[in-house]
Structure 1
Amino acid sequence: MDTQARLRYLREQWGINDLRVRGRLEKRQKDLWWLTDVRSESGKRLRYPLAELYSKPDLGAPGVFVGNESKVAPNLRESGTYVIVEVSLAPESERSKWKNPLLICADPTSIEPLTRIAGEHVHRNDDGSIDLEETLCRGYIDAQCAQGRDELTKLGEDIARLKQDHADVATRFHALRREREEAELARDQAQREVADAEAKSRRLAQEIEDGFAARREQLEKDARDREAALSRGYEEHERELRRELNAIEQELAAARKKRDREVGEIRSQTAALRSYVKSQIEPLHRLELITDTQWDALFPDAGNTPDQTREEWPEFDGETTQAIEHIQRYLFGRGIGYPWDLLANFHALLCTGDLIILSGLSGSGKTNLVKSYADATGNEARIVPVKPNWTSAEDLLGFHNPLQRAYAKTPFIEALFEASRDPERLYIVCLDEMNLARVEYYFVDFLSRLEDRAAPSIPLYPDDEAGHVLTELRVLMQTLGGIGLNLGSADLEALLGDGRTMTQLAERLGLGDGESFAQLHARVRRMLSGALTVPPQLQIPANVRFVGAVNMDDTTHYLSPKVLDRAHVLQFQSPLDYWDRVSNQIGKADRPTHGIRIPARAFPPRGEYPPYQHEDRLVLKLTEYGRDFLAPLGIELGMRPLRQAIHYHDQLKDLYDEGEGLDLLALNNLLRQKVFPRFSFDGKQSARGRGEQNRDAVARHFRDRLVEDLAPLSSPDGSLLFRASDDLAAMIERAKENDVVYNYWT
């Protein structure tokens, strides 16, 4: 049997669960200590199994070995002390020595004096008498005395505390009594002062009453005299003001007449040029002073041939949700995956007419969204690359060249002209890499024009240029008629080949300094082209929406608050992150081979934002966030974003059911599109109006509030594509790694 098996055998034979025994300590053989009279904790005397086989029949000799004197605590070094101790199997050498394979020895570290024995476990001698050792009694008495001393000490402490409390109460009682006596003295003094003041008041009242009648009479007389004087002065002043007003009205009437006359002249210049060109269209065309393209610009309803392939597509029937699903499936069949939520939000933003800024890493599908949406809806996308050297509005809109008397157009302005000639389709003009140049340098003036949401327009050049062109054109045509040229049949080639006619024209037109008729013809043609194709005042077509795509890296610029205040920022992730979601949304539905035509008239016209509605639930929530979190962060929420929020919420109604879910979705998207892009501050700075609390703490409280407020929010397929609380949490983590500096764009 191994050691563990022998120990189990001992426990089974003795009927105990562990090897914990009691007995008397005795000192033998100089400083060696033994445990004799070994019993179980219940008092049963323990004998070795099969004891008759060994030379030593019981534990009386040699007993249980404990160790030398250093192993026994000083308070136990008295022979006969009754203790309890844990035992284990003795070493092999000792078992062989005593010829007992079950020999045990004590663990000196576990020795404890035995001070208490349960009644059913009282140790009895062989004759039945109770055996209570002196050490056991003494230990029990010591334990009871120690307990009594502890109780006496605690009682003493309680008495001392009660005495101190009594002393404190007595002190407080005396202090309160002194305060009451002082208050009574102060009350008596105040009563005396009140009595003195009342007596003084009565005396003053009597004095005032005595002199009041005379004073009132004098004041009334003075008032009547002053009223008469003021009345005379007022009448004179009124007559003077009326004279000045009449003079101003006469000047204003004259100015209005002059302005109306000038406006009529300015308007008539462009109209007169167009009318003259229309009346002379055949000879101008034969003389190649006007081309077919210019004719289309003059009469935009002619020559527009829509894409016949798209014309065969089904037209939008007003079911916006189904239309977005169709677009998603159509694009997915062509290898383009955008989640339904993203397409729906982009559609709603187009309906607002606001500037949309698409933000994300290069290659995340920003400009592709513009192209894909336009292609899938039968509309047009125009991508205008922004150059790093753009510094003014002329880089975007072009400019009038005074030397050539013509307008230098840009792809951006040409896209607007094209849209004006094609009002049935929506034109999405996208400024690609919008922030390669500083947006406020070249685009803010144009963006300000868009604030006139009813009829925005752009002045391109002075309107009187049309008058100059008309004058030169009339001179040229009159000169051609004056030399006998048949304008009904003459063409440019025959005219240039007639030397005699060329000589007459040079004399009549006063050509000099080496200028030929061909050069004059080219100059007039260029001037006429500019005047006809580029109007002085361009009305921004209602069927145009503006989008900007931005990347944020070392080569680009941040967007100013003025731009962000007028735009919605739509953040993009990698298309690979969308693919599985799109695949799950579409499932086994068919992939149509055609899109769905959504004509420009299906998009709400740009108009004034809805009026501010103080009780609107969305406005109340945004205002609450502005007060509790945004203002302490240094971000002001003005009237424009709140009216934009109401307008955006109205556009979502065609895509989602109305109710709390729609309100939460609009709130979630507006936080991501309008509020978070303005997060740019040092989190270590003190928050406004929050004492010592810093802005980082406010941002974290804002995140916790959003987690709670947006918890019920989900999309139609069960999970939300983007959650504002997650975006803010990610921004907080980025700030933590960036010395607590918050920046949405990093």
Structure 2
Amino acid sequence: MDSVFRGQLIKIMNEYLGAKKDAFGGHHLGSFVRNEVPKEISEFSFIPNNQFVITGSVGQGNWAAIPWIAIMNKNVTVSTQRGYYIVYLFSEDMDWLYLTFAQGVTETSKEEMVKVKEEIRESITMDNKVRKDEKIFLGNSSKAKQYVFSTAAYIEYDIKNIPAEEVLVTDLKNMVSYYEEYITFKNKQYVLNELEEPVVIKEEDNSYLTSSNLVDQIHSYITSKGFYYSKEEVINLFLSLKTKPFVILSGISGTGKTKMVQWFAESLGATEENGQFNLIPIRPDWNDGSELLGYVDIKGDFKEGPLTRIIKNANESPRLLYFVLLDEMNLARVEYYFSDILSVMESRQWQNGKIVTSNLLSKEMTGDSLKIPSNLYIIGTVNMDETTHPFSKKVLDRANTIEFNRVELGNLSFLDDIEEVTPIAVLNERLSSKFLHLKDVYQTHPEIVIKTTEGLEKINKSLQLMNAHIGYRVRDEICFYLAYNEDDQLMKYEDALDHCILQKILPRITGSDSRVEQMLTELYRIFTNKEFVEGSDSFESDLETAIYPYSAKKVLEMLRRLKEDGFTSFWIS
């Protein structure tokens, strides 16, 4: 075996202290640790690329006292700030290298670190060379001591006696196997301790089920129920829910939006019978959150709303999927009855490796503070007609708005003898968010962040004509969507970005003056690389060769409506 990996580790230990005397920005050793070493590790056969994130760091803005290279299972964490993972830690004096089974120190409490550390040491049998003590020494800095405290197990290497490549690779393979064994232990522990009836398929028995397989399962299940939706539409809903657990489905009445959500949830084991799927019809007279969340009556007693009861159930079973369908969401003004939920949803942050929010309802009001759980997915269906209310930018900024206007009455394949598809109940890890901040994405997908930001800046220049340009929240969530897509290889990058533009940017556009026409004309040029010429017979060919065909088609519809009626909007077809 070539000693490439061994040489890389030795190079870091030999050169790092000298590099720290140089300017940080653009230093070749930084690129080497961030790119070259992770790339080499990713080539090992026991590190499947679709399951692991490998990243290295020498600091952010300044040289770190302790550089590191982390190997993370994406089902556990994609950030070294939280969760548990395998990480190479270099001592401050560069005399020692440690291969560790450690935890994120930034967003994990000491109590949680102690608990996980003890579980790893007691539940996983490891080779004798793996040490499970507190004698690891990285240096005297506070960060060094934090890393030591987070470490559950480690193998140490002296720079004067770095073992052969074969030994280093075998050690890493073994440590990864212990990591995977602990992940399995945690899943078994949950199933045994939390579920009265084991209705959820355990992840260790379901390892074959990649995200691509899961999307196939959802699509097949929906098709078997007699509803025709393309696989790409299912992928889009899947990615949108992973990006943020709030999605709006819009379209004309009768296109099956409600059933789409119900069958999507049911295909994953969430049904009305087991309480994991709930439909809440919205009433036109709702003008605050009390009908949805609850209120304090004249006696001072709290009367729970339907969503509060669901949230409590979801909090009690944090690894099960819970879906709420807000049917005909815009019969009342969404900003009136949903405002508190939207605001609290934006407060999501990592705490002890879990996503938590601010309080939705106070302890004084309900007897127990209520937060929005990370396993709750809210989907609203809307019809746009004279009986409904338009959405504010506050709502549109916080949701992916997916349009379902396509109807194919001639598709009668469901009348054939289609084989029944059995639901596969999965745990929340399959759908939950891994990214909450842009820096999380940049750490693992820097090329996506850079490429996407450049593209969105071009679009924003056109949107600024009407002050419709997007802000950081929309940019970040588009990057999340594209990173999830890249991880699972579900769509081409351009197709995925096309969906994002269509459902995160274009719904903001409305108006009647010449600036709207100028803006839409410029967007048409960006999306198709062709100039918009009124009355042209080349629109069809423009759309066929467009970079973003869905978005280009919608812009064309909006331009035609502007010409015909003197007013246009995303919501008018």
TM range (shorter): 0.5 to 0.7
Amino acid at match of 2:555: L
- Asked if the contact 1:393–1:441 (Cα under 8 Å) also holds between the matched residues in 2, the reply is yes
- Work out the CA distance in 2 between the residues paired with 1:641 and 1:326: 30
**Partner residue, 2:286:** 390
Residue type of the alignment partner of 1:622? L
Q: Deviations over 1:572-595 (max 9, x none)?
A: 024426948xx6xx9x99835312
For residue 631 of structure 1, report the CA deviation from its aligned partner.
0.8
For 2:321 and 2:481, how far apart are their aligned partners in 1?
19
1:408 counterpart SS class: strand
For 1:438 and 1:347, locate their aligned partners in 2 and report how far apart those are by CA, in whole Å.
Answer: 27
Cα–Cα, structure 1 residues 306 and 461, in superposed 2: closer, same or farther, change >3 Å? same
How far is 1:428 from its partner? 1.3
Q: Is the 8 A contact 1:677 1:744 kept in 2?
A: yes
Deviation at 1:395, TM superposition (A): 2.1
The counterpart of 1:602, out of the listed 406, 425, 430, is 430
User: Would the alpha carbon gap of residues 431 and 732 (structure 1) be closer, same or farther in structure 2, given more than 3 Å must change?
Assistant: same
Q: Which residue of 2 aligns with 1:698?
A: 519
Separation in structure 2 between the aligned mates of residue 363 and residue 591 of structure 1, nearest angstrom: 25
CA distance change for structure 1 residues 365 and 408 in 2, over 3 Å: closer, same or farther? Answer: same
Matched with 1:617 is 451
Counterparts of residues 24-423 of structure 1 (less than 5 Å): 305-306=196-197, 308=199, 315=206, 317-379=208-270, 380-403=276-299, 405-423=300-318
Indicate how the Cα distance of structure 1 residues 662 and 536 shifts in structure 2: closer, same or farther if over 3 A, else same.
same
Q: Distance in 2 between matches of 1:678 and 1:607?
A: 24
Aligned: 1:458 with 2:359? yes
CA shift for structure 1 position 306: 4.5
Partner residue, 2:528: 707
Q: Distance between the aligned counterparts of 1:412 and 1:623, measured in 2?
A: 38
1:554 aligns with 2:386: yes
Structure 2 residue matching 1:704: 3-state secondary structure: helix
* 1:600 aligned partner, one-letter code: N
1:673-712 Cα deviation digits (max 9, x unpaired): 111101111233xx3xxxxxxx313312321321129999
Partners of 1:713 and 1:316 in 2: how far apart? 43
* Matched residue type, 1:594: T
May I ask how many residue pairs the two structures share in their alignment? 356
For residues 376 and 589 of structure 1, do their structure 2 counterparts lie closer, same or farther at Cα, with a shift above 3 Å needed?
Answer: same
Cα separation, 2, equivalents of 1:697 and 1:535: 55
Q: 1:330–1:591: 8 Å Cα contact kept in structure 2?
A: no
Q: CA 1:728–1:578 in 2, change beyond 3 Å: closer, same or farther? A: farther
Deviations 1:85-141 (A, max 9, x none): xxxxxxxxxxxxxxxxxxxxxxxxxxxxxxxxxxxxxxxxxxxxxxxxxxxxxxxxx
Deviations 1:624-683 (A, max 9, x none): 1111x11113312211111111111112124426xxx73312321111011110111123
Pair 425,376 (structure 1): closer, same or farther in 2 beyond 3 Å: same
Is 1:434 aligned to 2:336, yes or no?
Answer: no
Residues 259-291 of structure 1 show CA distances to partners (whole Å, capped at 9, x for unaligned) of xxxxxxxxxxxxxxxxxxxxxxxxxxxxxxxxx
In 2: Cα distance, 1:536 partner to 1:648 partner: 34
> 2:126 — aligned with what?
none
Aligned counterparts of 1:578 and 1:341: Cα–Cα separation in 2? 20
After superposition, the Cα gap between the structure-2 partners of 1:374 and 1:720, relative to the gap in structure 1 and judged at 3 Å, is farther
Q: CA deviation at 1:377?
A: 1.1
Q: Does 1:731 align with 2:558?
A: yes
Pair 1:561–1:309, CA change in 2 (3 A):
closer
Residue of structure 2 in register with 1:445 after alignment: 340
Structure 1 residues 679 and 590, CA gap change in structure 2 (3 angstroms): same
Counterpart check, 1:645 vs 2:466 = no
The whole-number CA distance in structure 2 between the counterparts of 1:412 and 1:620 is 40
The alpha-carbon distance between structure 1 residues 713 and 652, as it changes in their structure 2 partners (threshold 3 A), is farther
**CA contact 2:529–2:546 (8 Å) conserved in 1:** no
C-alpha change, 1:461 and 1:667, in structure 2 (3 Å) is closer
CA distance in 2, matches of 1:635, 1:602: 34
Distance in 1 (CA, whole Å) between partners of 2:239 and 2:313 is 24
The answer on whether the counterparts of 2:328 and 2:381 sit within 8 Å (CA) in structure 1 is yes
Residue 736 of structure 1, CA deviation = 1.5
Preserved contact between residue 429 and residue 544 of structure 1 (Cα < 8 Å): yes
Secondary structure in 1 aligned to 2:511? strand
Gaps of 5+ in 1: 1-300, 466-533, 688-694
SS of match in other structure, 1:636: coil
Percent identity among equivalent residues? Answer: 26
TM-score normalised to the size of structure 2?
0.56
Q: 1:316 Cα deviation (Å)?
A: 6.3
Matched, 1:666 2:487: no
Aligned-partner Cα distance in 2 for 1:712–1:654: 32
The one-letter amino acid paired with 1:545 is Y
- Per the TM alignment, residue 333 of structure 1 is displaced from its structure 2 partner at its CA by 2.4
- Which residue of structure 2 aligns with residue 517 of structure 1? none
Measure, in 1, the Cα distance between the counterparts of 2:559 and 2:294. Answer: 43
* Residue equivalent to 2:571: 745
CA shift digits 1:59-80 (9 cap, x unpaired): xxxxxxxxxxxxxxxxxxxxxx
Change (3 A) 1:345 1:578: farther
3-state SS of the aligned residue for 2:378?
strand
Residue 656 of structure 1 aligns with which residue?
489
338 and 673 in structure 1: CA distance in 2 versus 1, 3 angstrom threshold: same
Kept in 2, the 8 Å contact 1:542–1:606? The answer is: no
* 1:431–1:356 CA distance, 2 compared to 1 (3 A): same
Check 1:542–1:736 CA distance in 2 against 1; reply closer, same or farther (3 A cut). Answer: same
1:558, distance to aligned residue in structure 2 (A): 0.3
Please give the root-mean-square deviation of Cα atoms over the aligned residues, in Å: 3.7
Quote the residue 1:683 is aligned against. Answer: 513
Q: CA deviation at 1:561?
A: 0.7
Cα distance in 1 between the residues matched to 2:438 and 2:467 = 27
Query: Is the Cα contact below 8 Å between 2:222 and 2:260 reproduced in 1?
Result: no
TM-score w.r.t. length of structure 1 = 0.44
Q: 1:330 to 1:607 in 2, by over 3 A?
A: closer
| SS of equivalent to 2:492 | helix
Q: In the aligned structure 1, how far is the partner of 2:541 from the partner of 2:223? A: 30
The answer as to whether partners of 2:221 and 2:423 remain within 8 angstroms in 1 is yes
The reply on whether 1:573 has 2:405 as its aligned counterpart is: yes
Q: State yes or no: 1:564 paired with 2:402.
A: no
Gaps of 5+ in 2: 1-191, 271-275, 350-355, 531-538
* Partner SS for 1:425: coil
Instruction: Confirm or deny: 8 A CA contact 1:338 1:575 kept in the other structure.
Output: no
User: What does the per-residue CA deviation read over 1:599-638, in whole Å, with 9 as the maximum and x for residues that have no partner?
Assistant: 11222346522238796111100111111x1111331221
TM-superposed CA distance for 1:598, in Å, is 2.5
In proportion to residue count, which structure has more helix? 1
Give 2:64's aligned residue.
none
SS at match of 2:408: helix
CA contact (8 A) 1:392 1:442 kept: yes
Contact 1:359 1:551 (8 Å CA) reproduced = yes
CA apart distance, 1:343: 0.6
